[in-house]
Amino acid sequence: MLKGRSSGLLLPIFSLPGDYGIGTMGSGARQFIDFLAQARQHTWQILPLVPPGSGDSPYMSPSAFAGSPWLLDLEEFVQRGLLTREELDTARYPDPDRVDYNWLRENRPSLLHAAWRRDTDTAARAAFLKEQADWLPDHALFSAIHEKLNLPLDQWPDDIRRREPEAMARWSQDLADEVDYQVFLQYHFFRQWKDLKAYANQKGIAIMGDLPIYVSADSVEVWAQPQLFQMDEDFVPTAVAGVPPDAFSDVGQYWGNPLYDWAGHRAELFDWWTRRLRNAALLYDRLRIDHFRGFHTYWAIPASSSVAKDGRWEKGPGQALLDHFAKEVPQLELIAEDLGVLDDDVWQFIHNSGIPGMKILVFAFDPNGESSYLPHNCPRESVVYTGTHDTPTFVQWLFDEATPAERDFASDYLRLRADEGFGWGAICGAWMCPSALAIAPLQDVLGLGADARVNFPGTAGPLNWSWRVRAAALNPDVSGKLAHITRTYRRG
């Protein structure tokens, strides 16, 4: 249940400004929190904090519980004596506008290893390892083996892939230092995130996290608990995730994640999901669950096919899992990502859940119909967005993707003006609607176009998951205008 009437911005951590090739939990994050407070915003929505996987996507992560080491604040390591100022200078990257993940993979590990070698607080790491015993030991060993072999899980030697006791003992002993290094990374990630979240909360900013519904086939979860997934004995999925054609793609999307074996291991999966949400409750104030409809029915694509349209709908755990969440993790406020193809049964399932769904402005302006996404049709118990990380920015949609009729309708409805900036019209349209919470990607506040898009669904490449904002954009003129709009529409 969303309380009151408020607003916020969507910006991934990796998109924050800074000198070191990627946004981090450091000074750039605090600058953005200060900007949010000055703009009278009360929510910062981020993308998943997990390590990125295939295609550098945070939705294909090798871990459902770990934090991405790329987001660690290196300047704080200097303050702790774990890095020198000269070493920090080697981490500087000349392009402030894009994350280069290949550069990070080549240059960042040596710095992080140097910090680990100087960190003598082994007692703190040991205590953290004990506190996180339900996931961290497996994650640390999986990551160490992965680094050593440089191979995906399904190509590992049989004995360690199948976790045979002798192989587990041998690899754990041989890679003891690398396992400790992985624990070091997670200890400092969670410590830094706790401090950053406290800073945000003190400023009146709630953190909204984002939880991918699936994990990667090349993940510690598949290695440690393969029985939870629809896979054969060789760790090859028998069916994979995706979606049929929808507003995001005319041909559907082939994601390739392994699917959960709800029919065969229901109780174990309920327990695993409970642990996942309890972990999320430590990190966030509220949580958007990606592809929420997958709890009702999910699109299963046969492993023999690489075409999304070949899939079919299969039954998920339904309301029983949501009731379990409400009982086991009552403190965590959930948001349902309910976009895409929804038939009447799915719509009723989401409605009956009582969990607020999403309304997206760039999908609203069909000139011939009465869209449920039009601001005047948005229910109070919903979150309205100008756009998401998967959509075009509002300006990109308006000039590159909207039909002339859609553009005319949006311009009339939102009273768009070139002299004011088209992004501000979108902000006003979302902020004025009945939805209890309104969210805009920072790109729409800044009126940016296609170059600032975060992700192009169904594609892979250097333009996905890499856009970054410059510090100069987070200025008093922008925060002041957003504060004025927020006051006008009584959101803060």
* Annotated active-site residue in 218, 337, 338, 406: 337
* Annotated active-site residue in 290, 338, 406, 444: 290
* Annotated active-site residue in 19, 218, 390, 444: 390
CB 90 within 8 A of CB 78: no
CB 9 within 8 A of CB 36: yes
What is the residue whose two structure tokens read 């140097």? 114
Residue 134 among the catalytic residues? no
Distance separating alpha carbons of residues 57 and 46, to the nearest angstrom: 14
Q: Which two tokens stand for residue 291?
A: 């592809």
Instruction: Count how many residues are written for the chain.
Output: 492
Distance separating alpha carbons of residues 468 and 471, to the nearest angstrom: 10
Q: Which two tokens stand for residue 341?
A: 């193809």
Residue 177 among the catalytic residues? no
CB 439 within 8 A of CB 8: yes
Going by C-alpha positions, the residue among 178, 303, 335, 313 that lies closest to residue 237 is 303
CB 229 within 8 A of CB 259: yes
CB 24 within 8 A of CB 13: yes
Residue 390 among the catalytic residues? yes
CB 356 within 8 A of CB 381: yes
Going by C-alpha positions, the residue among 412, 413, 410, 480 that lies closest to residue 445 is 480
- Residues labelled catalytic: 290, 337, 390
